Chains A and B, each alone.
Chain A
Amino acid sequence: MDKFVKFTGIVAAIDRPNIDTDAIIPKQYLKSIKRTGFGVNLFDDWRYLDPGEPGQDHSKRRLNPKFVLNREPCSRAQILLARENFACGSSREHAVWALLDFGIRVVIAPSFADIFYNNAFKNGLLPIALGNAPVEQLFAEYKKSEDYRLSIDLEQQVVSNAHGVEIPFEIDESRKYCLMHGLDDIGLTMQHADEIRAFEQAYYERMPWLQ
């Protein structure tokens, strides 16, 4: 996993609550056995005017000119702004892979669905939960600007705009640490392998029916 470093990126906004994982990456693309290549199908039903299937040449499909990710400069967005309960629904990590593969590195919303929130950190995508008021402010600024950019500083836990207005955000310390150092969870857990073995021994003695 890459280390998360401070950056300034183009913002794309989708002004609706409860954007679900079926919208982020429709089911037909979940048939892939790879982790890559999902970006072209991010928000597929909204992004294209014709239905898509895996294996098809998506560059030949009709783009929906109204959809934000088809418009300049948002087609190069690295930051996605949305409303509450972002990525509710299924556990498909493909939703995170699709966002990352498209180029999105940060999603800002008032709240996230739990499973997506977890999945995001495992892949180096930073979900930033801000209050309703700051999100409203970002939407207002976004709507006034042709090329809206934000800077994301994970170390300082601050989102800032071009005018230097700063919005602080909360993040779990251990998650922040892993993201900043690009750490692999499995490697971290394996450091405790002896503890897990000791736990198991006592556990199965007490509950032999689980053995």
Chain B
Amino acid sequence: MAGKTLYDKIWDLHQVRRDDDGTVLLYIDRHLVHEVTSPQAFEGLEIAQRPLWRKRSILAVPDHNVPTTGLEYGITDPVARLQVDTLNQNCDKYELTEFKMGDVRQGIVHVIGPEQGATLPGMTVVCGDSHTSTHGAFAALAFGIGTSEVEHVMATQCLIQKKSKNMRVTVAGPVAEGITAKDIVLHIIGVIGTAGGTGCTIEFAGEAINNLSMEGRMTVCNMTIEAGARAGLIACDQTTLDYVKGRPFAPRGEIWDRAVDFWSDLHTDADAVFDREVVIDADDIAPQVTWGTSPEMVCSVTGRVPDPALESDPIKAGGMQNALDYMGLAANTAFDQVRLDKIFIGSCTNSRIEDLRAAAAVVRGRKVADTIKQAMVVPGSGLVKQQAEDEGLDQVFIDAGFEWREPGCSMCLGMNADRLEPGERCASTSNRNFEGRQGQGGRTHLVSPAMAAAAAIAGHFVDVRNI
């Protein structure tokens, strides 16, 4: 019998029952909850008079609607405030663990889970948010669910699931100096496409992945959903254990040792077979910039904006032209000719301490270009913010002309006041460049924190390796 993949192993551990047609009742260990996708689920439970199955599996935090400035005024938007108040009321009523606004542990749900040790290897982790894939960095099976499923997990601690296919993306060899996790994952999406992983769980492997820190691995797994796969996975190794150990929700003492022993099996067996394998040469990866309105519309900063006239598939060419029209870009433009209005460093993809350090290293002693209307840094959590301030990074950003904000999802999706105006062009460390994502008519280019910082200084895109 062939060996098991990491996905097979975690799946089998959590299988409560399996019907003949392959429908599985899958047990859920950790349920992360935020204000946007939970109110209707709580309401459903209340209407049906159903109790929560396992309250301690839940960790809740408001993040999408939270303002990143003027916290002393609270949330001024009454609709957003009602949503956050509703989360608070529900968590109080059901006695759930919640990091409310004002708590230093509050932040983006996918930042605080790992930060608290609430995400552990071998777990199943769900949240009503597609970027739940982030937690796959810990060899945890983590995926986004809709509100009906949020309610289902609250009521039963399980989900009705069919197993996905096994896919592996191997990034062979080490990446070159100056190439980050964000460049790796954007390049992967460029190669396999935005639906390249649909129906699959993707395991990321290879030297370039193994060399990443946990924060880099989270960036890669975070964007798995941008390649169509609900879940991304990376094997558990010493890097994983070193990160998890000692965190507030992590096991301690003898139980920790037992857990470590158990977790040592959380990797794909050598003789396991994948349904699909993609191998990428790490040497091919340069700093990436997206040029269109889908994350697959990406190329190297050293390249030029592609030309739809050279695309043989007419539907694809039409899609490219639509994207260029929306983005206000001409084919064959060099990226150093693309001038920016705003810079956003933040989001569940790139708002952790290493991201801020990487951006600060580029910014240190320099000034944001006069032509940039606004450049902001939004730390992923209160603890990230505190750490950055302890290291003096806030002052580096402020001295350069960046705004130093409070934690939250912010301009990644512009549910709060942080957004692009129509036609504004932004270098953003977030995960989606969809039309209107950062504000109606806004134009988003996805890049790494270092590339966003370099663009802020230059006023246009530059190859961060050259500054």
Report A's interface with B, CB cutoff 8 A. Answer: 16-18, 20, 22-23, 26-28, 30-35, 45, 51, 54-55, 83-85, 88-93, 96, 111, 113-115, 118-119, 122-123, 172-174, 185-186, 188-190, 192-193, 195-196, 199-200, 203, 207-210
Q: Does B247 contact A (CB under 8 A)?
A: no
Q: Let me know if A185 and B148 touch, CB within 8 A.
A: yes
| Complex-state Cα separation, A92 to B82, whole angstroms | 18
| Complex-state Cα separation, A96 to B19, whole angstroms | 27
Q: Let me know if A115 and B440 touch, CB within 8 A.
A: no
Among A34, A84, A93, find the residue whose CB has the most chain B CB atoms closer than 10 A: A93
Q: Does B25 contact A (CB under 8 A)?
A: yes
Q: Knowing A23-B434, A192-B16, A209-B251 are in contact, say whether A114-B440 is a contact too (CB < 8 A).
A: no
Q: Let me know if B120 and A111 touch, CB within 8 A.
A: no
In-complex Cβ contact of A32 among B79, B258, B316, B435 (8 A): B79
Q: Let me know if B319 and A17 touch, CB within 8 A.
A: yes
Give me 9 A-to-B residue pairs in the complex whose CB atoms sit less than 8 angstroms apart, sorted by A's number: A17-B316, A20-B294, A45-B440, A93-B37, A93-B40, A111-B195, A119-B146, A190-B156, A192-B25
Q: Does B413 contact A (CB under 8 A)?
A: yes
Q: Let me know if B437 and A22 touch, CB within 8 A.
A: yes
CB distance from A40 to the nearest CB of B (A): 15
Using C-beta atoms within 8 Å of the partner chain, give the interface range for chain B: 35 or more
CB distance from A211 to the nearest CB of B (A): 9
Q: Does B333 contact A (CB under 8 A)?
A: no
- Count: A-B pairs, CB below 8 Å: 182
Q: Does B130 contact A (CB under 8 A)?
A: yes
CB distance from B52 to the nearest CB of A (A): 12
Q: Does B449 contact A (CB under 8 A)?
A: no
Q: Let me know if A31 and B228 touch, CB within 8 A.
A: no
Q: Let me know if A28 and B415 touch, CB within 8 A.
A: yes
Q: Let me know if A174 and B199 touch, CB within 8 A.
A: no
Q: Let me know if B27 and A115 touch, CB within 8 A.
A: no
Q: Let me know if B146 and A115 touch, CB within 8 A.
A: yes
Please name the residue on chain B nearest to A121 by beta carbon. B148
Q: Let me know if A119 and B228 touch, CB within 8 A.
A: no
| Complex-state Cα separation, A23 to B294, whole angstroms | 12
Contacts of A172 in B (CB 8 A): 21, 162
Please name the residue on chain B nearest to A189 by beta carbon. B156
Please name the residue on chain A nearest to B17 by beta carbon. A195
Contacts of B318 in A (CB 8 A): 16
| Complex-state Cα separation, A163 to B458, whole angstroms | 62
| Complex-state Cα separation, A188 to B436, whole angstroms | 39
Q: Let me know if B148 and A33 touch, CB within 8 A.
A: no
| Complex-state Cα separation, A189 to B161, whole angstroms | 12
Please name the residue on chain B nearest to A123 by beta carbon. B148
Among A85, A96, A123, A188, find the residue whose CB has the most chain B CB atoms closer than 10 A: A85
Q: Let me know if B23 and A119 touch, CB within 8 A.
A: no
Contacts of A92 in B (CB 8 A): 36-37, 146
In-complex Cβ contact of A189 among B25, B48, B294, B440 (8 A): B25
Q: Let me know if A88 and B194 touch, CB within 8 A.
A: yes
| Complex-state Cα separation, A64 to B148, whole angstroms | 33
Q: Let me know if B435 and A22 touch, CB within 8 A.
A: yes
| Complex-state Cα separation, A51 to B419, whole angstroms | 13
In-complex Cβ contact of A122 among B148, B164, B259 (8 A): B148
Q: Let me know if B435 and A90 touch, CB within 8 A.
A: no
Q: Let me know if A51 and B440 touch, CB within 8 A.
A: yes
CB distance from A122 to the nearest CB of B (A): 4
In-complex Cβ contact of A114 among B21, B48, B50, B198 (8 A): B198
Contacts of A89 in B (CB 8 A): 130, 225, 432, 434
Please name the residue on chain A nearest to B318 by beta carbon. A16
Residue-wise interface mask of B (134-166) relative to A, using a CB-CB cutoff of 8 A (1 in contact, 0 not) = 000000000111111101100111101010100
Contacts of A27 in B (CB 8 A): 413-415, 437
CB distance from A22 to the nearest CB of B (A): 4
| Complex-state Cα separation, A54 to B77, whole angstroms | 11
Q: Let me know if B157 and A196 touch, CB within 8 A.
A: yes
CB distance from B126 to the nearest CB of A (A): 10
| Complex-state Cα separation, A114 to B231, whole angstroms | 11
| Complex-state Cα separation, A55 to B83, whole angstroms | 14
Q: Let me know if B198 and A113 touch, CB within 8 A.
A: yes
Q: Let me know if A115 and B145 touch, CB within 8 A.
A: yes
Residue-wise interface mask of B (316-350) relative to A, using a CB-CB cutoff of 8 A (1 in contact, 0 not) = 10110010000000000000000000000000000
